[in-house]
């Protein structure tokens, strides 16, 4: 064995040891936050966390000394900034307050915890993790990642210091599933039942569930290493529906940065729209803004307010509601549509507004692709129809207390939020029956493909309508915008619609069996809400039996990962056969 090979094995052992220590550090941080500690226990935890910081700095130095490939500038900047931050945190805790005037702000224990988390992210991202398509297909990997987050979330929410009075396993599982599947259905009040620690856990689960843990893990791994295996490219390409493998990590980068960027801007606008007299503390106002910005963009519908935005002090805050609904719509459109829309806006400004003024107009056909056109048209149509239906149907009912533009904004909000958002600014139980049916329909359709929302998706609904129109006109093909829709898309749309009714139907039957005392309409509303990952309820969620809650958990999970993905994960893929049987028509009607 050569000396060079021995050194390589030693360095690899150091990296793995650093990762294990950083993982233990995260576990100790969770234990510290989740359980009451004795003085001895607190000292042991603090000492171990300093060991984690020292190990992280050592691993960082070794990685630069023995780096075999060229270090990217952005990684170098990140690592140097991390090392300086960690070093200052350590120094601040070993220097007396009188001698550390400039470092006094870093003496809070929270900075040690953040430094440990930073080291863990760095060490985890630097691991060589490969996906094997032969052992696990993309659908199985996608579903497993959600199951893993839900399991971890359930354990974290069960910690003593996550709630004020404890929580049952079923309720912890329900809340974790609702957060990860960005649904918003709750069995206990988020703002009053969970502590700040518990609310932060829910916030993290919403973020990971909205974008996906694999997106975060893959992006940061690529960020630090700069390379990825061909297997990883193939799997992530399948999961993101990208045909060009070279665009996979560029797209992941856009998703992560766009998400954080939109949520940050949204949180700033929410912060500015809150009355200081309602939430006096700057920290509480900031946390409220961040929590609702993430919840809105991820279409989760979780709120720290007891009655969501129907709270007496917030239901007339129309500026705040507009910020929330803009975040909801952007999150519900889906990243591919948002990116394509931004590309079109850039083209429109440059080639339609600026260049014609200097005589250099350039025509670029089909900037908006067929997916974007269908999705945007369907979204706009559903939003307008829903707003008008709600405005005129509830004018003298739930909209009675609003006036002028307030009625319009409330109707607009109430029409957009059933598309998987889950926030409510009216009393759902007081709505007229036709309005409830309209909301059920909007929840069933849901958001757009590639988004953080659920439902059958707008494109599926659009293809189904176009198929009906094509059959009525006697056409054998589905045509729209001078394009022909592929047969496989029509087949997927039909399968998705049928499977949605099967899942929702069995869910309704199951709950009516275990909770027979409840009316059919609230149960149906609950099941459609769970499948569409919406979070709206007629008030029966908390009073469901344990079996009823488990059924809702299953429907929420299926609604997020889709039944089609589950079937693809379960059934073995059949190889393409190069033959065709004689085709015959089947009598339908």
Look at residue 230 in the predicted model and tell me its pLDDT.
45
Q: Which residues contact 536 (CB under 8 A, 6 or more apart)?
A: 184, 301, 417, 418, 422, 424, 428, 439, 443, 525, 529
- pLDDT digits (tens), the chain, 589 positions: 455 544 555 666 767 787 788 888 888 888 888 888 788 888 888 888 888 888 888 877 777 676 655 666 767 777 778 778 888 877 777 766 555 555 666 667 778 888 888 888 777 766 655 555 555 666 777 788 888 889 999 999 999 889 998 899 999 999 999 998 888 888 999 888 999 999 999 999 998 888 766 565 555 555 555 545 545 555 555 555 555 555 566 677 777 888 888 999 999 999 999 988 888 888 889 999 999 999 999 888 899 888 888 888 888 889 999 999 999 988 888 777 888 888 888 777 777 666 655 555 555 556 778 888 898 899 999 999 999 999 999 998 889 888 889 999 999 999 988 887 888 888 888 899 999 999 999 999 988 887 777 889 998 999 999 999 998 888 888 888 888 888 888 888 899 999 999 999 999 999 999 999 999 999 999 999 999 988 888 889 989 999 999 999 999 999 888 888 888 777 776 666 677 788 777 777 6
* Structure-token match 């987050």, residue found: 149
Q: How many beta carbons lie within 10 A of that of residue 31, not counting itself?
A: 14
Q: Are residues 12 and 67 in contact, defined by beta-carbon separation less than 8 angstroms? A: no
Q: Which residues contact 414 (CB under 8 A, 6 or more apart)?
A: 386, 390, 394, 424, 425, 426, 439
Report CA torsion sign: 535, 304, 178, 540: negative
Q: Which residues contact 166 (CB under 8 A, 6 or more apart)?
A: 160
E strands of 473-539, at which residues?
Answer: 479-480, 483-484
The closest alpha carbon to 175, from 574, 536, 553, 576, belongs to: 553
Q: Structure tokens of 84?
A: 């300086």
Look at residue 3 in the predicted model and tell me its pLDDT.
52
Look at residue 323 in the predicted model and tell me its pLDDT.
92
Helix or strand or coil: residue 434?
helix
Q: Helical H runs in 35-108?
A: 39-65, 73-94
Model pTM score? 0.85
CA–CA separation, 386 vs 378, rounded Å? 12
Look at residue 5 in the predicted model and tell me its pLDDT.
45
Look at residue 278 in the predicted model and tell me its pLDDT.
86
Look at residue 50 in the predicted model and tell me its pLDDT.
83
SS (H, E, C) 132-146: CCCCCCHHHHHHHHH
Helix or strand or coil: residue 152?
helix
Residue 330: exposure state from Cβ atoms within 10 A (0-12, 13-18, ≥19): buried
């Amino acid at each position: 064995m050569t000396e060079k090979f021995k050194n390589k094995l030693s360095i690899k052992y150091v990296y793995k040891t650093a990762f294990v220590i950083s993982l233990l550090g995260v576990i100790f941080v969770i234990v510290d936050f989740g359980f009451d500690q004795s003085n001895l226990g607190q000292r042991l935890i603090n000492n171990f966390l300093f060991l984690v910081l020292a190990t992280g700095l050592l691993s960082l130095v070794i990685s630069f000394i023995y780096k075999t490939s060229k270090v990217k500038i952005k990684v170098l900047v990140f690592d140097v900034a991390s090392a300086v931050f960690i070093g200052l945190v350590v120094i601040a805790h070993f220097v007396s307050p009188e001698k550390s005037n400039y470092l006094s702000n870093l003496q809070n224990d929270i900075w040690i915890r953040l430094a440990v988390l930073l080291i863990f992210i760095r060490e985890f991202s630097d691991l060589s993790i490969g996906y094997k398509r032969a052992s696990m297909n993309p659908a199985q990997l996608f579903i497993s990642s959600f199951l893993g987050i839900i399991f971890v979330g359930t354990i974290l929410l069960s910690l003593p210091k996550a709630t004020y009075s404890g929580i049952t396993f079923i309720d912890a599982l329900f809340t974790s599933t609702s957060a990860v599947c960005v649904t918003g259905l709750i069995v206990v009040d988020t703002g009053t039942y969970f502590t700040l620690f518990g609310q932060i856990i829910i916030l993290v689960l919403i973020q990971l569930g909205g974008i996906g843990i694999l997106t975060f893990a893959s992006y940061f791994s690529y960020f630090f290493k700069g390379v990825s295996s061909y297997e990883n490219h193939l799997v992530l390409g399948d999961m993101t529906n990208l045909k060009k493998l070279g665009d996979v990590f560029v797209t992941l980068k856009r998703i992560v940065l766009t998400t954080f960027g939109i949520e940050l801007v949204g949180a700033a606008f929410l912060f500015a729209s809150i009355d200081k007299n309602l939430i006096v503390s700057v920290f509480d106002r900031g946390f409220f803004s961040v929590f609702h910005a993430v919840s809105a963009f991820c279409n989760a519908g979780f709120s720290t307010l007891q009655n969501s935005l129907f709270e007496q002090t917030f239901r007339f805050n129309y500026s705040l509601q507009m910020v929330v609904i803009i975040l909801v719509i952007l999150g519900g459109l889906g990243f591919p549509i948002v990116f394509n829309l931004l590309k079109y806006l850039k083209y429109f400004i440059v080639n339609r507004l600026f260049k014609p003024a200097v005589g250099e107009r350039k025509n670029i056909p089909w900037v908006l692709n067929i997916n974007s056109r269908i999705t945007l048209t369907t979204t706009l149509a559903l939003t307008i129809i829903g707003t008008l239906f709600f405005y005129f149907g509830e004018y003298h009912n739930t909209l009675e207390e609003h006036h002028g533009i307030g009625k319009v904004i409330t109707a607009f909000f109430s029409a957009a939020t059933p598309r998987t958002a889950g926030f409510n600014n009216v009393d759902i139980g007081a709505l007229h029956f036709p309005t409830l049916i309209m909301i059920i329909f909007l929840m069933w359709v849901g958001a757009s493909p590639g988004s953080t929302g659920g439902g059958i998706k707008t494109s599926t609904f659009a293809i189904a309508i176009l198929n009906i129109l094509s059959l009525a006109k006697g056409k054998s093909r589905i045509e729209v915008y001078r394009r022909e829709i592929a047969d496989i898309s029509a087949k997927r749309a039909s399968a998705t619609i049928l499977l949605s009714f099967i899942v929702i139907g069995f869910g309704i039957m199951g709950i009516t069996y275990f909770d027979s005392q409840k009316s059919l309409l609230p149960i149906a509303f609950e099941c459609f809400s769970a499948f569409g990952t919406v979070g709206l309820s007629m008030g029966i969620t908390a009073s469901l039996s344990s079996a009823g809650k488990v059924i809702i958990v299953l429907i929420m999970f299926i609604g997020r990962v889709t039944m089609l993905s589950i079937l693809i994960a379960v059934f073995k893929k059949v190889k393409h056969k190069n033959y065709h049987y004689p085709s015959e028509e089947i009598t339908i009607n």
